Copies of this chain bind each other. A is one copy, B any other.
Amino acid sequence: MVVMVTKTKRAERRTDALSKERIVEAAIEILDTDGESALTFRALAARLATGSGALYHHVASKNDLLTAATEEVITGVMTGLAPGDEPRAAIQAIALGVFDAIDAHPWVGTQLAQEPWQFAVLPVLEGFGQQLQALGVLGPAQFDCASALLNYILGLAGQYAAGVRLLAGVTDRTAFLATVADRWADLDPARFPFLRQAAPQLPAHDDREQFLAGIDLILAGITATSGSRRSSAR
């Protein structure tokens, strides 16, 4: 009891004391403002006014740090969801929540795409599974569908994050897509007729909307495929 009070008091007073939370918080700030390549233990230590070795008392490795930072963001997404939605709307809400988080923190996209077995993806997969159950999708199809949704999101996560990485200063995403469109337009017409034809619509298209179109596509496939199973739902 007395120990608890003492600990609390100390934490209140010495706000400069190092902790995993403070380190993760500082890491997120660096990642958000200066990009993924700016996060080094030296830069982190400098920002926290400590030695680089001190960080290892609270964080096991750089990977551990990035995992914790990603977890922080994704947890925020999942807890911010409105409960009691219709299953299809709930799935869209989860997907859009992750999309918006990656839009706000592109390094989260890199993390999710690169380390998809980390804890942060589990709440997302769990959310999909629960909503699919509510939709009446059961048995092996439930896991297949949840995985399909997750894979789709992870793929886009990598794509989005890579786009930001290639931008490297160009703040406008439309400008980036225009560059890609130019490259597609120069492709060999014999080999790449589809991409050449699709190029013009690339800069104009809304990433978020196209993302949602993909989710809806998978949902439509789920509805079409699981018709037989759905009847046994209730």
Chain A residues numbered 133-170 whose CB sits less than 8 Å from any CB in chain B:
133, 140, 142-148, 150-159, 162-163, 166
In whole Å, how far is A35's beta carbon from the nearest beta carbon of chain B? 15
Copies of the polypeptide in the assembly:
2
| Interface secondary structure of A, over-half rule | helix
Chain A residues numbered 175-234 whose CB sits less than 8 Å from any CB in chain B:
180, 184, 187, 191-195, 198, 201, 205, 210, 213-214, 216-225
- Please tell me the number of chain A residues within 8 Å of chain B, measured between CB atoms: 58
Complex Cα distance, B205 from A142, in Å, reads 13
B198 and A143 contacting across the interface, CB-CB below 8 Å: yes
Complex Cα distance, B146 from A196, in Å, reads 14
Contact of A217 among B116, B201, B218 (CB under 8 A): B218
Chain A to chain B: the 6 pairs with minimum beta-carbon distance, closest first: A221-B221, A129-B194, A155-B155, A151-B155, A154-B155, A148-B214
27 sampled A-B residue pairs with Cβ under 8 A: A113-B114, A117-B162, A122-B192, A123-B191, A125-B194, A126-B193, A126-B195, A129-B198, A143-B198, A144-B213, A146-B194, A146-B198, A148-B213, A151-B151, A151-B152, A151-B155, A152-B152, A153-B155, A154-B155, A154-B156, A154-B158, A155-B157, A216-B225, A217-B222, A218-B218, A219-B221, A221-B222
